[in-house]
Structure 1
Amino acid sequence: MIATVIALLVGLVGCVRGSESSSRLSYDLATALSIPVGEELPPTGIRYDRMEDQGAYLIIDGQQALKKKGDSLSWSGAPRDGVSLTLKQRVLWFTEDELHLVGTAEVVIDEVRPTAGPIATASPIKYSGPVAYGIKKGSTIPGSTLTYLGRADEGAELGGLAEYPYRLAGDSIVWEGTLRPGVSSRLDLRVVQFDDRTLRVGGVVTLWVDP
C-alpha cells in the first residue's frame, strides 16, 4: 500500500506544482464545482436559472446564457483584497436541480504570512487540488510554517511541528492555518523522498477564501 502511495506521488511531483515567491503563492488547481438551481456560484455571481430541452440556462452579468454539455464557463476577479481568482470551467452535466462543472481554478494570494492554527471558516469559496514541492534543507514548505531541517536517523526532520518531527518516505504531513487575513489553508501531504539536501512532498491543498 505504501509503495503504491509513493509511486502515485512520484508521478504527481513530476506533473503538478504550486508556485511561490517569498510573499506570493500561486495555485492552479483541478476542480469540480456545482451550482444548485436558483443559486449562484460563489464568488462569481453566475446563477443557474433553469433546465429546458435546449440545455441549461444561466444568468451571467444579468444576461441569459444557454449552456450545453461541454460548453465553457469562465470568470476572473478578486474575491477579497490580496486574492485573485480565475475559473476556467466546462459544463460536465446538469439536471433540473443542479449544474456540474469541471476545470481549473487559478488562485493567486499576495502578502502571504502563514500562521498555524485550527481552521475556523465555513466559506463557500473553497478550492482543492494537487500540489508537489521540493524543499531544500533550511527552507519552508510553501503555504505553511514547516521547515525541512534535514535527514536524521529517524527520518526527515521537520521544524514547526507541535508533535513528533520525523517522517519516513510515505508518511503523512498535515498543516492548517491562515495564509493572510480571510484566507485559510490545509495541506495534506506525503513524503515522496528525502536526502541530506532536499525533501520532496506531494498531496492536496484545500483553500478557503472568506468573501
Structure 2
Amino acid sequence: MADLEENLERPPDYGSLQFSVEGQPASLQSSSSSRQEVKSRVSKKLEGVQYLLSDDVQVEIRWFIHERDRYESDAAPDIDNILKPLMDALCGADGLIVDDCQVQAVSCYWLDSYDGSQRLEFSIDYSPESWVKKGGLCFIHLGDGLCYPLPGGLSVRQSKFMTQMIKTMVEMRDEFEELDADYYQSKMLMPSQRAFHRTRVASEFEVLEAEDILN
C-alpha cells in the first residue's frame, strides 16, 4: 500500500493508497463548524494531490482513540455517525474522489490508542486506470443530468472531438436500449470513464453543455 504523500502527481498503478489525519472525527450531529474543521484537516492532508479517482473506491477508516475515552466518556461519537463527514471530506476539487456515490464499500472501526492521542488512518482501494487530473478539469453535460469529465489542457479541436465521441457513444447506448437490450449489454457501448449525474458534480467544478462545445 502506497503513502499518499509519495504519490501526489498520479495514483500508483497497484490501486491502493493510505494517509493519516491527526485529531478526532466529528459526528454527523456535531455543529457545522466542527464538521468543517475535520474537513479542513483532511483537505490539508490532500493538498498537492493533482488527481481525482474517478471510478468505484473502497474505503477503510481506522480511528485510534484511547479505550477509556470510548467506554467511560460520552464525548466520543458513535462509529456510524462519523462516516458521512469523513466521506464528504474526501469529495470534490480539494478531495480525492468526485463524489461519495463512488464509494462501493466502506469499513470503519476504532483501535486503542495507548498514548491517549487520536488520529484517523485512511486506506483507499481503487481501479488504477480510472483517474483524472485536477488541473483544468471540467465536466460535459450531455442532457438528462449525465456528465462526463473533460480533462484540462485540450485544444478547442481536441475538446470538440472528445465531446463528440462521448455524445455519440451515449446516443448509441440509448438506441441499443430501444432494441430491448438491457442496461449491462448497452453499457458495453459507453465510454470507459465513469459518468456522473449533474447533482453529483460539486459546484466548484465547471460544467459545460455539450452543444456549446460542439457549436
Q: Structure 2 length normalisation: TM-score? A: 0.24
Question: Greater strand share, 1 or 2?
Answer: 1
Please identify which structure carries the higher helix content: 2
